[in-house]
Amino acid sequence: MEFEYLLRVVGAGICGVLVGFERKSRMKEAGVRTHFIVALGAALMMIISKYGFQDQAAWSNVKLDPARIAAQVVSGVGFLGAGMIFMHRHTVKGLTTAAGIWATAGLGLAIGSGLYILGAGATIIILLGQKILHGRYSWLASPKTQQIVICLSNTEGAMSRIQQLLEDKNITILSFHAENNSLASELNLEIIVKFPESFNSVNLLSLIQEDTSVKAVDFQ
C-alpha cells in the first residue's frame, strides 16, 4: 500500500515539474525545482493527513480529521507565494508565478488523495492557461500605464504645456506630482499616465523633448 502512496508522490512531483518548466522557460522567479517540491510536498501532506493515522481510527476516544493537515498546505503555501510578489516601477510582478505555486499545491493534494485524473487534468489546464493567456489579445488587453519623470526649467507655462501635450494625445493623467528643485531652478514632474489603445510611447518621448524647457525625460 505504501508503494502506491510513493507513486502518488512521484506523480505529483512530475506534474509539478511540468508546470515549473513552463515558468522556468519564461525566466520567472520560481522554476522547476520549486514547483516540483511544492507538488511533491503537498501530495505527501495529503497522504499523511488522509492515511497516516489509520492505526488510531479504532480508538474510541479519538476522532480523526483527515483534512486537517491538508488544509494547512493551502494556507502555508500562501507564505511561499507572497515571497514571489513584489512591486517594480508601479507594477505588480510575480502574481502569476505565485498563483501557479498555489495551484501546484492543489494538484499535489489531488494526486495525494488518489484523484489521479483530476490532478493530471488540472496540470494540463494550468499549462494551457499559462501558454494561451500569455499572448496579448485585443479582448484581453488592459490599458497600458506608464510613469514619466520629466525635469524641466521652472519657467512660466512649462508645466501647463506638458499637461496640454498629454491631453492633445488623449493620454489620461492618473497621477501628477510636481516638485521644485531650488538649487538648479528646475521643476521635477512625476506623472503616471494611461495611454490610449495602440499608442506608441516613443512618439510621445520625441514630442516632449521638443519642448525647449525640458532638460531630461525618463520613462519608467
Q: For 150-202, what is each residue's pLDDT tens digit?
A: 888 878 888 888 888 888 888 888 888 888 876 667 888 888 888 877 777 77
pLDDT in the model for residue 211: 82
Q: Is residue 138 part of a domain?
A: no
Q: How far is CA 188 from CA 17, 117, 137, 159, 165, in A?
A: 48, 59, 36, 10, 17
What mean pLDDT comes out for the span 39-61? Answer: 80
pLDDT at 24 over 70: yes
Total of domains in the chain: 2
25 shares its domain with 80: yes
Q: Select from 78, 106, 132 the last residue of a domain.
A: 132
pLDDT digits (tens, 9 = 90+) for 58-117: 666 767 777 788 888 888 887 777 777 776 655 667 778 888 888 899 999 999 888 999
Q: Select from 102, 132, 162 the last residue of a domain.
A: 132
Q: Is residue 48 part of a domain?
A: yes
Q: Which parts of 52-156 fold into alpha helices (H)? A: 68-82, 95-112, 116-132
CA dist., res. 201 & res. 94, Å (int): 25
Quote the domain boundaries for residue 156: 144-219
120 shares its domain with 165: no
For the question of whether the overall pTM of this predicted structure is more than 0.85, the answer is no
124 shares its domain with 173: no
